[in-house]
Structure 1
Amino acid sequence: MAERQGPRTGTTTHGTFASPLSRRAALGGAAGVGATAALSACAGAGGGGGTGSGGGEGGGDDKTLNVIMVNNPQMVDLQKLTADNFTKDTGITVKYTVLPENDVRDKISQEFSSQAGQYDVASISNYEVPFYSKNGWLAPLDEFISADSAFGQDDILKPLATALTGEDGKVYAEPFYGESSFLMYRKDVFEAKGLTMPEKPTWQEVADFAAQLDGAQPGMKGIALRGQPGWGQVFAPLTTVVNTFGGTWFDEDWTAQVNAPEFVAATKFYVDLVRAHGENGAPQAGFTECLNGMTQSQVAMWYDATSAAGSLDAADSPVAGKIGYVAAPVDQTESSGWLYTWAWGVQKASKRQENAWKFISWASSKEYEELVGAQVGWASVPAGKRNSTYENADYQASAGPFYKATQDAINAANPADPGVQPRPAPGIQFVAIPEFADLGTQVSQFVSSAIAGQMSVEDALDQGQDLATKLVSDKYKK
């Protein structure tokens, strides 16, 4: 997730999924959803432009929809294009409330948990869908999908479709855009050093490269990895490392595993790597800081969100054309990239669900992508959700260096089975329960302190184990 949330276009075994895991505790049993800190950029999760309210609160007539959404650039484009396209064609006025990620998550959780009915549609992610749907806060969309053959549900990338489906097999949200994670590296620097990047590197290979790339150019470090506290910052990439090293936050019975040997080994590897060969200021470096470091030739490699590629290869980027993209590094698993999507969900209490679907079917459509491509530019298309996007010649021309690597990364994601053992809840870079936002954020403070050299990894994860047991295990085991 780019934590910009989580995860910017803000959060990965090829197209084939194990059936959803049997979750022993009702995911929605915890209605305390207030702890929904940002996944920003999880680039896993979002980031982007200024704050603003579109006056979306309140009821409105049958020809008005109230939509609340995160203020990422893709949503800002949507806001600008709505009146002259969607409203013109349907007669439906859309009133937007647009807020920064932390604020919008809090407001949506309060609104949907109370079923206040102020908003018809909200931007939610695959983090919220499992417990929002379990709690009955979302309206299922299956009847609308069945009646709308033009929407093309079969065109949605399978990992995203699966991630937005509830335990009952019903679809509860449609993606606006999606992302996974991969390894980005400077092709010219590798060539100058006589190094060859494998298409599917291991983490040990990456660590070896990082040691050889320190100082490859003046002031250049071997790799950038997030160290900033936050469940959608440092723990977005780090949890994928934990997964592929054989660790997990919780075993199938909800027993906390935060200080288990595999979790410790993965975290120690990550901390040691970023301390030895990572970017300057790593303990406070999030998605944006790492992106800046890669853009400014301060680092030779970066493991993070696939959504970063559009910025690195933008026409005005100083490193455009110099970046290579390969699969997320692994240790014990076939793949390790995360999966994140900003998607549209309909509040169960909405009295305008039919019009809400009309909005979603437009905003998530292939036609909308073509509209953005024509009026804003193909680099701004909210991609990462449809197979047809990656077959589009215009998009391929714009995203040539990275579109295939992005598609492969998303199709390789399996939120139901991201590691080496069964999990009690879905999620790759997060655990899809309400409590994880608070837990992950608290434990991330300890990990960032370890990166800063203020405590050992073992001490950090011992404290994390206590929190995981108290906040989750004791509750869910009951």
Structure 2
Amino acid sequence: MKVSGFPVLGAVLLASTAFAHAETLTIATVNNSDMIIMQKLSPAFEQATGHKLNWVVLEENVLRQRVTTDIATEGGQFDIITIGAYETPIWGAAEWLTPVDDLGDAYDYDDILEPVKNGLSYEGKLFAVPFYAESSFTFYRKDLFEAKGLTMPEQPTYDDILAAAKAIHDPASNTYGICLRGKPGWGENMAYVSTLVNTFGGKWFDMEWNTTINTPEWKQALTLYLDLLNNYGPPGAASNGHNENRALFASGNCGIWIDATSAAGYIFNPNESKVADTTAFAKAPIAAVDKGAGWAWAWALGIPASSQKADAAKQFLAWATSKEYVEMVGESEGWVSVPPGTRKSTYANPKYTEAAPFADTVLAAILAADPADATKDEVPYTGVQFVAIPEFQGIGTQVGQTVAAALTGQMSVDQALQTMQSATERTMKQAGYPK
């Protein structure tokens, strides 16, 4: 493993905070490919600083549960946590996070993309720094499309997606028309389903915070979702989240995959993916409206206020989210694999843009996703694929479980909509909504 770049990285670390005595930092992170690379390269940080890292690498839903419990109870189990654009402003407002806007001039905050930085801030103060950011778009197998005489539009509609999935679906050869998130969770299946609802013209709540799930727009979205996965998806789709679908697509088992733009670095890496040379991409599909079809997300690193090792933790944040770290990943793992979506300098670097044919499309998708204007009708909340209120974590998880139940045939679409409507109304009423 290459551990070059110490002089530059050392300058970043020294600028961020004074060296203290060696600490052991416990890091909770998600088992996504970019974080696995971070863990692989972390001996460079340990060698440069003398600190030791204790890694707790968890599946996405488990990570969220463990981190939420620890930070809400001030348990102090973690010194660094991987959190997202949903939690960060809410937890910052609750004073559960240590501000991280003091990592030094060498860190170059101005280099961070403004929408990403804004999504991790509360009242102008940054409470986490982005490790990678993403929207969503459509991966597809151009070889399968060509074999069927199909052309993917730059901006596909869901009619296009349905027709293509049907045409290329070939379960006899273990090639399925489409892969979509089915694993229940507010950040798993509901990240995708919420964008589907948006583009069909639906929303979670109206301006008076009345729940609007049992509506024609949600029914259209859920009906299409079930149609796609039940008829043209892989077996056991209700167990597949981001990582499972990424593996299926990279192995050549999916013709279409609508998911995070951040997965492109994996799919287009021939060392990881069997379909690196036969994959193409298009914008996230649209239906009735073009709003909210592509989500807005960042996985970021934050420091719980309960940590007693904030200075050392800031050194790690300064290292892992710096321009120099991006360079290190590019030289060590290949430029196609660098963390995407966070820094302007990444997209100005010809080494990256030449290695990543998707770079411009991803950047445009991230800049186009607007959490403040993601629905057809006016709503009282922000968020594309989530609702930025504390109650949504529980609501989204419960709704996601019901969607999964409908996917596995345990209830009809109408039963699912009524169940989700009633459960969400009950939670919102208990929380003091509607207002």
C-alpha separation between the residues in 2 aligned to 1:418 and 1:189?
A: 32
Is 2:306 the partner of 1:346? no
| 2:3 paired residue number | none
1:234-273 matches, cutoff 5 A: 234-273=189-228
1:265-344 matches, cutoff 5 A: 265-316=220-271, 317-331=273-287, 332-334=289-291, 336-344=293-301
CA contact (8 A) 1:416 1:423 kept: no
| Cα 1:422/1:462, change in 2 over 3 Å | same
Aligned Cα root-mean-square deviation (Å): 2.6
C-alpha separation between the residues in 2 aligned to 1:304 and 1:450?
A: 21
Shift of 1:154: 2.1
Shift of 1:76: 4.0
Amino acid at match of 1:133: G
| 2:403 paired residue number | 447
Is 2:335 the partner of 1:378? yes
Shift of 1:133: 1.2
Deviations 1:334-393 (A, max 9, x none): 451112222111223445544433322221101011112223333442222112112222
| Cα 1:156/1:476, change in 2 over 3 Å | farther
| 1:31 paired residue number | none
Amino acid at match of 1:345: G
| Cα 1:408/1:327, change in 2 over 3 Å | same
| 1:34 paired residue number | none
| 1:195 paired residue number | 150
Is 2:94 the partner of 1:138? no
| Cα 1:277/1:77, change in 2 over 3 Å | closer
Deviations 1:227-252 (A, max 9, x none): 23332332121111001111112223
C-alpha separation between the residues in 2 aligned to 1:314 and 1:349?
A: 39
> Which of 344, 353, 356 is 1:399 aligned to?
356
Is 2:318 the partner of 1:361? yes
| 1:56 paired residue number | none
SS of equivalent to 2:326: helix
Deviations 1:19-53 (A, max 9, x none): xxxxxxxxxxxxxxxxxxxxxxxxxxxxxxxxxxx
1:77-226 matches, cutoff 5 A: 77-84=37-44, 86-89=45-48, 91=49, 93-101=51-59, 102-117=61-76, 119-142=78-101, 144=102, 148-166=104-122, 168-215=123-170, 218=173, 220-226=175-181
C-alpha separation between the residues in 2 aligned to 1:347 and 1:229?
A: 27
Is 2:377 the partner of 1:421? yes
Deviations 1:39-87 (A, max 9, x none): xxxxxxxxxxxxxxxxxxxxxx754263422153433443443443x34
C-alpha separation between the residues in 2 aligned to 1:298 and 1:76?
A: 23
Amino acid at match of 2:276: A
CA contact (8 A) 2:265 2:338 kept: no
Shift of 1:191: 2.0
Shift of 1:419: 1.4
C-alpha separation between the residues in 1 aligned to 2:206 and 2:37?
A: 42
SS of equivalent to 1:476: coil
Counting matched residue pairs gives 411
| Cα 1:270/1:380, change in 2 over 3 Å | same
Shift of 1:322: 0.8
Shift of 1:464: 0.4
C-alpha separation between the residues in 1 aligned to 2:321 and 2:91?
A: 20
| 2:415 paired residue number | 459
Q: Which has the higher helix share?
A: 2
C-alpha separation between the residues in 2 aligned to 1:239 and 1:294?
A: 22
| Cα 1:370/1:257, change in 2 over 3 Å | same
Shift of 1:306: 1.7
C-alpha separation between the residues in 2 aligned to 1:192 and 1:66?
A: 52
SS of equivalent to 2:294: coil
C-alpha separation between the residues in 1 aligned to 2:322 and 2:373?
A: 29
| Cα 1:347/1:228, change in 2 over 3 Å | closer
| Cα 1:393/1:259, change in 2 over 3 Å | same
> Which of 322, 343, 346 is 1:389 aligned to?
346
